[in-house]
Structure 1
Amino acid sequence: MDTRKLKYFLAVVDHEGFNRAAEHLLIAQPSLSQTIASLERDLGVPLFHRIGRRAVLSEAGKELVGPARLVMRDLDAAQSAVQALRGVRSGRLDIITMPSPGIEPLTSMIAGFTRLHPSVRLNVGAAFTPEEVIESVRTGSTEVGLAGSATPIRVPGVQVLELERQPLILIVNPQADTFSPGTAIQREDLGGHRLIASQR
């Protein structure tokens, strides 16, 4: 399968339509449509439903997104490896992180990484649950994910490393809550209380 077709397919997905994808790719929109039509003929299934100016993924299209990203990522990795042999170290690293590890340890990790690999571009995306991080890495949307969890994370096919343990601090109004000062709070103690947390 022509990787150019996969690149164009992902551009339509990421830009949610043929017109904006064509502008991003710097090609004519009819040329893009012909390429996608050719890919659909190769696969024998429609990949998009055209609704007005929008392109909505079909069920087959949804199934293709993950494998297509993996193929393009592997191609980028191969090109970067060849460039590295020539002394040119460049490329892109996509990261997804939950809010707390996005502050630390990610900032320190990025500082160290960019010192060693200044030509590598880093893209950092946000997630709000461990499940979002896992799914992003598992499907190939990102290469590295940082998540916080009270229980160990184990996912078949995904390598998981514990970086550090972080304490959670509960801030309460002493006049409105009944927690005893200086005592450790268990999760079950929070039942029935309102919490202010990151919006999902």
Structure 2
Amino acid sequence: MSVDLAHIRQVMAEADCLYPEAEVEAAIDHVAAAINGELAERNPVVFCVMNGGLIFAGKLLPKLGFPLELSYLHATRYRSETTGGELFWKAKPELSFIDRDVLIIDDILDEGHTLGAIVDFCQHAGAANVHIAVLIDKTHDRKARQDLKANYVGLPCIDRYIFGYGMDYKGYWRNAPGIYAVKGL
């Protein structure tokens, strides 16, 4: 499949910067302080949700000043479809977290279908507590579950198609140094 790089570049050139890099970094510092205050003595297992959570986790983890075990997980509900179905694990958690606190790090809490399924999996597999850290919590009324809330939120965000800091536009711009909204979306 051919990618129109001119279009990808144009999307960035026309995008609205919702949060510049300095604001995002300050938000990550705030999240780290809250996690340090609450989880430092709980010996958590930390899971980065791939691929979106990678940049947020990479920025956040060095700011956590306590011992933790780290791994990743990769789950999807789409499997080459346009609508979500049953949770499919591309990579299941490899560390045991039975009777331990789990911290899930992800880029965004949007509608929450996949994140909710990951939380349910961890709870049913024996986690003592499941905590969620997201860089972005989108503000809208389409949340899949009213009971799914992030414990640690970097920034709230309006309901637009966003990219940067792990979030992508058609697979690109996860590396954008800020949070951007696609023009017209």
Query: Fold conserved (TM > 0.5)?
Result: no
Larger RCO: Structure 1 or Structure 2 (Cα < 8 Å, ≥ 6 residues apart)?
2
Structure richer in strand, relative to its length: 2
Q: Calculate the TM-score normalised by the size of structure 2.
A: 0.32
Structure richer in helix, relative to its length: 1
